[in-house]
Amino acid sequence: MSTVHVYDTTLRDGAQQEGLNLSVTDKLAIAAHLDDLGVGFIEGGWPGANPKDTEFFRRAHDELDLRTARLAAFGSTRRAGARAAEDPQVAALLDARTPVVTLVAKSHPRHVELALRTTLAENLAMIEDTVSHLVAASRTVFLDAEHFFDGYALDPAYALEVVRTAAGAGAEVVVLCDTNGGMLPPQVGQVVQQVARDTGARLGIHCHNDTGCAVANSVAAVQAGATHVQGTINGYGERTGNADLVTVISNLQLKLGHPLLPPERLARAAALSHQISEITNVVPYSRQPYVGASAFAHKAGLHASALRIDPDLYQHTDPALVGNQMRTLVSDMAGRASIELKGKELGYDLSDRPELLARMVRTVKDLELQGWTFDAADASFELLLRREVTGEPLRYFDVESWRVITDSGSDSSLSEATVKLVAAGERQVAVGEGNGPVNALDHALRQALAVAYPELDKLELIDFRVRILDASHGTDATTRVLVETSDGSSSWETVGVAGNIVHASWLALIDSFTYGLLSQGVEPR
């Protein structure tokens, strides 16, 4: 593996994105995904700055079992005129109990004077004191030199002194930050090379995308000698976002030969990008390099015949290397192949059933046009496939009707659901309460099925996600609901789509219960 650090700051700098708001549970889930991808460092947040980040580090210490990544706490150098050993913010960094601490420090004279309101000399003392204090407490320290490139342009001698001071005090890496994002690649490359030469320090790079060059600037810095690169998943971040870490990694690894991640982990990049979008609920950007849904989609036309002969003539890299795939937007060839593959994965051999495959492709395309999605709902896909193979839907019970009432009765607005159905030959009428319509329906449905299918008792809904499609129609829009259910040992996802959010949820619930019974080998009673 390469000696270049892959440092992710999705949880800290990425979370600065407008409209992005992560709960502690979200942050823990994202950290686990990042560890799976194989990044070297995960910056978790700023302990002490807000209660959420403090709680994140407490829970991460107990709950996160990282295999590859090391966790970093982010904070600033001590206050002017105090001692690091007595600064509560610095103490909070140690309380986070992470192996790594990343300190942000000023390296631009105007920022020292206007934002920190202290002297240039005191700023250097703050860096020296804080880095030494953390190193003495056995932390690996990285120092983010904020506004470095702008500062270097104004006063190179002072910017260099910041780098020397941090490195001299024991910072393992000094990260040059283009905080305002205004740089272009040649400037970045030149400054990194010069600073490396003048200071001998190990350098990192942290870029923002304000000129549309965050990726190119990061790559230029590595080519100029930086050996630590920061970024965020999907380029999340304030303003125009941070450098898109997956694109930076892919360029360095696939174009320039830096082995940053084991190939089998890089091949999870597209899936990881989408999984993290689901957690952040930021709509994926289809034109995103490498991992976007359109990244390898060809509108054929001019290219069609040559594409068939040699796809490599029309793609800059093999999409499989990043877990993506080529799509031709006019042909259903890819559709059939992937459905056959998916069927095989689920235990259905469809290789000698071209008609069934063609029918499935049509069904899936029709449903996807209506807003259904199966790439995140394997269980619903399997039920659909099973229905096509056997010729009839799997029916454990017959629903007569259902109804949910929500009212303003209390601040927490309980919902009440009634479900009427026939199971094992008996008509059941059951009522359930919940703190939302879906929760109430879940309880009523369980109640109605308890006698016929006691196996359902161990099922638990563990995730519930809503996406509004065709948002321009406002509350009139189509709604897609994804439900994840666990039986204690494994979990599965189902999907429902309807104009009515409650109806969509009901469809996903029915699939979830049906799949839960099927997977336990239960026969309809």
Q: Which of 454, 466, 519, 525 binds a second copy (CB under 8 A)?
A: 466
Taking CB under 8 A as the rule, does residue 436 contact a second copy? yes
Q: Does 489 bind a second copy (CB under 8 A)?
A: no
Which CB atom, from 161 or from 484, has the smaller least distance to a second copy?
484
Token look-up 């009707």 returns: 401
Q: Which of 219, 211, 248 minimizes the C-alpha distance to 233?
A: 248
For residue 327, the minimal CB distance to a second copy (Å) is 9
Residue ranges in 354-413 that form contacts with a second copy under rule CB under 8 A: 365, 368-369, 371, 373, 375-376, 399, 401-409, 411-413
Q: How far is the CB of 404 from a second copy (least distance, A)?
A: 5
CB of 47 to a second copy, least distance (A): 13
Closest CA to 11 of 98, 84, 81, 140: 98
Nearest to 525 by CA among 454, 432, 442: 454
Nearest to a second copy of 185, 204 (CB atom): 185
Beta bridge partners of 285: none
**Residues sharing a CB contact under 8 Å with residue 341, sequence separation 6 or more, in sequence order:** none
The contacts of residue 200 (CB under 8 Å, 6+ apart) are 167
Chain residues 81-120 in contact with a second copy, contact rule CB under 8 A: 108, 110-111, 114-115
CB of 241 to a second copy, least distance (A): 5
Please provide the DSSP assignment of 418-459 as one string: EEEEEETTEEEEEEEEESSHHHHHHHHHHHHHTTT-GGGGG-
How many residues interact with a second copy (rule CB under 8 A)? 141
Report which of 295, 276, 299 is spatially closest to residue 286, judged by C-alpha positions: 295
Query: What is the enclosing helix (H) or strand (E) of 460?
Result: strand 460-469
Residues 502-521, interacting with a second copy (CB under 8 A): 502-503, 506
Residue placing its CB nearer to a second copy in the complex, 358 or 399? 399
Burial class (CB in 10 A: 0-12, 13-18, 19+), 522: middle
Binding a second copy (rule: CB under 8 A), the pick from 425, 474, 488, 521 is: 474
Q: Which residue stretch of 30-38, 259-267, 315-323, 423-431 sits at the interface with a second copy (rule: CB under 8 A)?
A: 315-323
Calpha distance 107→174 (Å, rounded): 11
Minimal distance, residue 215 CB to a second copy, in Å: 4
Q: Kindly tell me which of 390 and 412 has the beta carbon lying closer to a second copy.
A: 412
**Is residue 484 within the footprint of a second copy (CB under 8 A)?**
yes
Regarding 460 and contact with a second copy (CB under 8 A), the answer is yes
Nearer to a second copy, 40 or 231 (CB): 231
Q: Judged by CB under 8 A, which stretch of 2-10, 47-55, 380-388, 513-521 contacts a second copy? A: 47-55
Question: Which 244-303 positions form the footprint of a second copy (CB under 8 A)?
Answer: 244, 247-248, 250-251, 255-256, 279, 281, 283, 285-290, 292-300, 302-303
Query: Residue 77, exposed/middle/buried by CB under 10 A (0-12, 13-18, 19+)?
Result: buried
**DSSP reduced 3-state for 131:** helix
Neighbouring C-beta atoms of residue 299, cutoff 10 Å: 12
Q: Which is nearer to a second copy, 65 or 411 (by Cβ)?
A: 411
Residue whose CB is less far from a second copy, 3 or 23: 23
Least separation in angstroms between residue 300's CB and a second copy is 6
Quote the Cα angle for 151-232-323, to 5°: 140
